[in-house]
């Protein structure tokens, strides 16, 4: 489940304010009474927007944002909020990049000005490039040492071959060594369009104040459209790959293509995924593999939707002698979803479980700020709790079985095994 694309404002939808600046940048703000506030800039640019010779550049840029601007050193960037007890952070995904901060409410303007400075005025100092490449290389090596994490990256490479959306976010040692002066500036100019930027805020500040501040720091940015175009990736199906990793356990990923973000069946697949192998300990995979048989410590499924495609992934690990038995159990759980209707009572519980998970996740105001911003970025709206509940009520047991047959066809799914 990906709550970021199904966020809500419980009982307070009327307090969710939005507007668009003249240059196309959008603003979303939720006022509250907390002493702690959160602000983020989310841009619809990520790993998939890299050219072949730029593998890892979007993530590298995220790191280099913190290495100096035309008026601040790296230390001054870090200290600007930390000196007042705040935090600034960032992340890169396949289709977006975010700069975000958490801070005391009286430091709102300090945080917004800092994010504006590093987003617009980063100097990308050459002396920091090699140093930061080494930091990211250590990050890559950490993934290489963790097969349970690495297999997710390798799986999407298998599903989306020869397309940037399938490549891992971090890059490689070879690609990191290719980055030179000018590449970051060029990537920024070609991909960071003003109509694909959202400013997201949660905190104790009126909308009039946050709007005025957003216009002050971001309103003068010239309107700009994306230069590079995105191309829909082709997917591979029914492929089986075994990689020798010399691991104590065997790791398996079954995966196939899934619904894209605009698809009306997207919520239906979220719910089906939650039933099959979501975060709850009572998911079918966890109950069948871990609780009832003790074959596996980790068994889960994930649905990753993108703007023009999607991926459905089923993962488990087990000792070598239990691997074939575990595979049979997983296939049997898939078969049941494709051939047998879920009981109405089970569907009712699944709806409540999903709503509860969403409600709990959004008790975290930082998460709420980011997920609201992502929803506004992609859909130009943020669904209320009532809206999501109504959509869930429309999902039927027949619809879930139909989705299972479309997405979980074992004859179409790829299999990746680390052993």
The DSSP code sequence of 284-341 is HHIIIIIITT---S-EEEEEEE-SS-EEEEEEEEE-HHHHHHHHHHHHHHHHHHHHSP
Q: Residue 92 has what DSSP assignment?
A: E
CA Rg, the chain, in Å? 22
pLDDT at 243: 96
Q: Locate the domains of the chain by residue range.
A: 15-218, 240-418
Is 240-418 a domain of CATH 3.30.830.10? yes
For residues 311 and 257, give the distance between their C-alpha atoms in angstroms, rounded to a whole number.
5
Residues 261 and 272: beta-carbon distance below 8 Å? no
For residues 332 and 228, give the distance between their C-alpha atoms in angstroms, rounded to a whole number.
44
The 10s digit of each residue's pLDDT in 386-416 is 899 999 999 999 999 999 999 999 999 999 9
For residues 408 and 254, give the distance between their C-alpha atoms in angstroms, rounded to a whole number.
9
Q: Tell me the pTM.
A: 0.93
3-state SS of the chain: helix, strand, coil percent to 5?
50, 20, 35
Question: Given the DSSP bridges, would you call strands 87-92 and 240-243 parallel, antiparallel or unpaired?
Answer: unpaired
State the DSSP H helix or E strand holding residue 18, giving kind and residue range, or none if neither: strand 17-20
pLDDT at 110: 98
For residues 361 and 3, give the distance between their C-alpha atoms in angstroms, rounded to a whole number.
8
Question: Residue 374 corresponds to which tokens in the numbers above?
Answer: 């992502």
Question: Given the DSSP bridges, would you call strands 97-104 and 36-43 parallel, antiparallel or unpaired?
Answer: antiparallel
pLDDT at 31: 95
pLDDT at 11: 42
> With 80 as the cut, is the pLDDT of residue 109 above it?
yes
- Residue 86 neighbours by CB distance under 10 Å: 19
For residues 369 and 29, give the distance between their C-alpha atoms in angstroms, rounded to a whole number.
8
Residue 211, exposed/middle/buried by CB under 10 A (0-12, 13-18, 19+)? buried
- The helix/strand/coil state of 115 is helix
The C-alpha angle 62, 64, 69, rounded to 5 degrees, equals 115
When mean pLDDT is compared across 7-16, 38-47, 297-306, the lowest value belongs to: 7-16
Confidence band of 67 (pLDDT split at 50, 70, 90): very high
The 10s digit of each residue's pLDDT in 151-163 is 999 999 999 999 9
pLDDT at 13: 41
Domains 15-218 and 240-418 share a fold: yes
Question: Residue 239 corresponds to which tokens in the numbers above?
Answer: 């492929």
Residues with Cβ within 8 Å of residue 27, at least 6 apart in sequence:
18, 19, 20, 21, 198, 199, 200, 201, 210, 211, 214
The 10s digit of each residue's pLDDT in 308-320 is 999 999 999 999 9
For residues 164 and 346, give the distance between their C-alpha atoms in angstroms, rounded to a whole number.
39
Residues 44 and 58: beta-carbon distance below 8 Å? no
When mean pLDDT is compared across 172-176, 178-182, 266-270, 334-338, the lowest value belongs to: 178-182
90-107 average pLDDT score: 98
Q: Work out the mean pLDDT of the chain and round it to a whole number.
A: 94
268-296 average pLDDT score: 97
Q: What is the CATH number of domain 15-218?
A: 3.30.830.10
- The share of the chain scoring above pLDDT 70, in percent, equals 97
26-55 average pLDDT score: 97
Residues with Cβ within 8 Å of residue 292, at least 6 apart in sequence:
none
- The helix/strand/coil state of 391 is helix
pLDDT at 3: 33
For residues 258 and 166, give the distance between their C-alpha atoms in angstroms, rounded to a whole number.
14
- The helix/strand/coil state of 409 is coil
The 10s digit of each residue's pLDDT in 328-342 is 999 999 999 999 999
């Amino acid at each position: 489940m990906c709550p970021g694309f199904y966020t809500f404002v419980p009982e307070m939808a009327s307090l969710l304010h939005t507007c668009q600046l003249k240059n196309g940048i959008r603003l979303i703000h939720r006022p509250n009474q907390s002493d702690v506030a959160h602000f983020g800039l989310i841009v619809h640019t990520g790993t998939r927007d890299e050219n072949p010779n730029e593998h890892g550049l979007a993530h590298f840029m995220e790191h280099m944002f913190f290495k100096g601007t035309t008026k601040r050193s790296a230390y001054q960037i870090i200290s600007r909020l930390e000196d007042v007890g705040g935090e600034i952070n960032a992340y890169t995904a396949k289709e977006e990049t975010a700069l975000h901060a958490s801070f005391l409410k009286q430091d709102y303007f300090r945080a917004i000005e800092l994010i504006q400075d590093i987003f617009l005025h980063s100097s990308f100092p050459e002396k920091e490039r090699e140093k930061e490449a080494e930091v990211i290389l250590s990050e890559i090596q950490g993934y290489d040492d963790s097969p349970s994490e690495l297999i997710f990256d390798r799986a999407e490479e298998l599903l989306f071959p020869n397309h940037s959306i399938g490549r891992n976010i971090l890059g490689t040692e070879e690609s990191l060594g290719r980055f030179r002066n000018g590449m970051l500036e060029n990537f920024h100019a070609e991909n960071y369009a003003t109509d694909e930027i959202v400013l997201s805020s949660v905190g104790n500040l009126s909308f009039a104040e946050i709007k005025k501040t957003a216009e002050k720091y971001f309103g003068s940015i010239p309107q700009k459209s994306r230069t590079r175009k995105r191309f829909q990736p082709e997917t591979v199906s029914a492929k089986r790959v075994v990689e020798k990793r010399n691991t104590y356990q065997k790791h398996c990923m079954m995966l196939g293509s899934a619904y894209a973000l605009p698809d009306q069946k997207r919520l239906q697949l979220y719910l089906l995924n939650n039933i099959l192998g979501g975060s709850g300990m009572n998911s079918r995979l966890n109950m069948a593999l871990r609780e009832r048989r003790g074959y596996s410590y980790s068994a889960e499924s994930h649905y990753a939707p993108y703007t023009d495609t999607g991926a459905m992934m089923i993962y488990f690990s087990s000792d070598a002698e239990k691997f074939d038995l575990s595979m049979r159990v997983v296939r049997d759980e898939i078969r049941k979803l494709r051939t047998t209707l879920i009981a109405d009572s089970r569907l009712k519980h699944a709806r409540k479980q999903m709503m509860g998970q969403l409600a709990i996740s959004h008790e975290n105001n930082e998460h709420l700020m980011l997920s609201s911003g992502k929803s506004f970025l992609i859909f130009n709206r943020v669904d209320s709790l009532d809206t999501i509940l109504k959509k869930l009520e429309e999902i039927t047991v027949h619809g879930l079985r139909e989705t299972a047959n479309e997405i979980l066809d074992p004859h179409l799914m790829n299999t990746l095994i680390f052993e």
